[in-house]
Amino acid sequence: MHDEPIGNGRTAEVIGYDETSVLKRFRPFMKREYIEREFRAASFAFSQKVATPQPVRIIQDAQGTGIVYRRIAGKSMLQALSENPMALSRITRLMARLHFDMHRIEYNDEGNAQKRNLTAAVEAVEGITDRDKRKILEYLRTLPDGDRLCHNDFHPDNIMMDGGLWIIDWMTGSSGSPECDVARSKMILETSEIPPSVPFPVRQLLRLGQRKIARVYVREYRKLGKLRKGDIDRWLLPLYAARLSENLSDRETRTIQRLMRKEMRRLGL
């Protein structure tokens, strides 16, 4: 079980730790504050009975820093979709309900607030002019702070299915606005490339279905939360700008830049 490879991502790898636990070992470039932030958000979510693996402790050894989590079985929602694309609508509605239920939970963490994190991300982007940054940040300041538990990276590859649904990967978890959290999921669903781990034919099929997944998810969430389209879409501009601070492919970068410019025009900025 020890060192058994389970998952591999840009910021961390997940390996077996013992029979009941896994270790999320972070890449050397990951700052300790980000790791502690994930542990804090995941611990709070678990304490509030969110369906998420229990974070046990942070460990430091010669190979780096990691978080030990209780082991769960099952497959990711993305894998479930790749194996059964015809279940897209049903599975996506489950995703929206899971997200809505999570947002019922109050969470206040001034050191890890959504708008604070968005501001820092926008300020770090190199491909936006200072003038446009000022406009975007001034606009962001007009949006509500929110006081709910938010994941901020909620998509089918961060949901595990084993008869129930489990939310994983709380690295970007924060306090904030549910509408912002939903808008970020919409952005990810519409613009992200499907991971190469998904077989090529299925990847092509899911790529064609990405907008449908986003549409079904947002429609279901809006129905549950009694929201207007604008309640969610007003968050897109700062989210597009902040997204450019991340490690995107050339295709994703071009798409986000185009959408950001379109949104600035729509808002008259």
Asked whether the beta carbons of 161 and 76 are under 8 A apart, the reply is yes
Structure tokens at 77: 């929602």
* Residue of 255, 262, 245 lying closest to 172 (CA atoms): 245
pLDDT number for residue 22: 94
pLDDT number for residue 2: 60
In angstroms and rounded to an integer, the radius of gyration of the C-alpha atoms of the chain is 18
pLDDT confidence band for 98 (50 / 70 / 90): very high
CA dihedral 198, 239, 42, 70 (to 10 degrees): 0
pLDDT number for residue 11: 87
Please give the average per-residue pLDDT across 172-193, as a whole number: 95
pLDDT confidence band for 62 (50 / 70 / 90): confident
Q: What is the chain's mean pLDDT, rounded?
A: 91
Q: Rounded CA gap, 168 and 156, in Å?
A: 10
Question: pTM to 2 decimals?
Answer: 0.91
pLDDT number for residue 132: 97
Question: Which region among 4-8, 166-170, 200-204 has the lowest average model confidence (pLDDT)?
Answer: 200-204
pLDDT confidence band for 85 (50 / 70 / 90): confident
pLDDT tens, 121-179?
A: 999 999 899 999 999 999 999 999 999 999 999 999 899 998 889 999 999 999 999 99
pLDDT number for residue 202: 61
- The structural domains of the chain, ordered by start, are 5-70 (3.30.200.20), 75-266 (3.90.1200.10)
Structure tokens at 136: 């975007």
Residue 87 host element (H or E): none
Residue tagged 């939903």 (tokens): 182
